[in-house]
Amino acid sequence: MAAEYQDYDYVEAGTIDAKDLPPLKPQIKKNMRGELSTGLILATIYFAFIFSIPVLNWFFPDIAFKPFWGGMTVTWFLTTVIGMAMAFIIGGLHTYLYERRLKKYVTTTDVKEADEDARNTTIS
């Protein structure tokens, strides 16, 4: 299918062994490590909240099934309204921390070098 296109020289995709790849730059390695730890921490907080809802239903049914805000139960309120707000806040926090980490580890010289590499690349 892709070989039918004539706009570029088609190179069939193969497999790449991870051992053959060059090592990551220290800045990228630190950025990725920070991204992983941030993601794991925020995911743990969110999953702890989500999995606390069935615990609340099971051990505290008087609180969990109490009518609240227009007939909605407390657990439905927690699941829908608070859960969505948490997802929004976690997404914003994750983005903020990523951008802050990017400013910390990526310098303008790295960007200029990448631009120079891109300009000097020839497509045959």
Q: Which of the residue ranges 6-10, 73-77, 89-93 would you say has the lowest mean pLDDT?
A: 6-10
Residues 6+ apart with CB under 8 A from 23: none
Query: What pTM, to 2 d.p., does this model score?
Result: 0.63
Whether the CB-CB separation of 53 and 79 falls below 8 Å is answered with yes
Selected residue with higher pLDDT from 11 and 84: 84
pLDDT digits (tens, 9 = 90+) for 76-101: 999 999 999 999 999 999 999 999 98
Q: Judge whether residue 112 has pLDDT over 70.
A: no
Beta bridge partners of 73: 67
CA gap 91, 39 in Å, rounded = 10
Whether the CB-CB separation of 62 and 103 falls below 8 Å is answered with no
Q: How confident is the model at residue 25 (pLDDT cuts 50, 70, 90)?
A: confident
What three-state secondary structure class fits 25?
A: coil
Selected residue with higher pLDDT from 106 and 6: 106
Max Cα distance, the chain (Å): 71
Average pLDDT over residues 53-82: 91
H or E segment and range at residue 16: none
Q: Judge whether residue 26 has pLDDT over 80.
A: yes
Note the pLDDT of residue 43.
Answer: 94
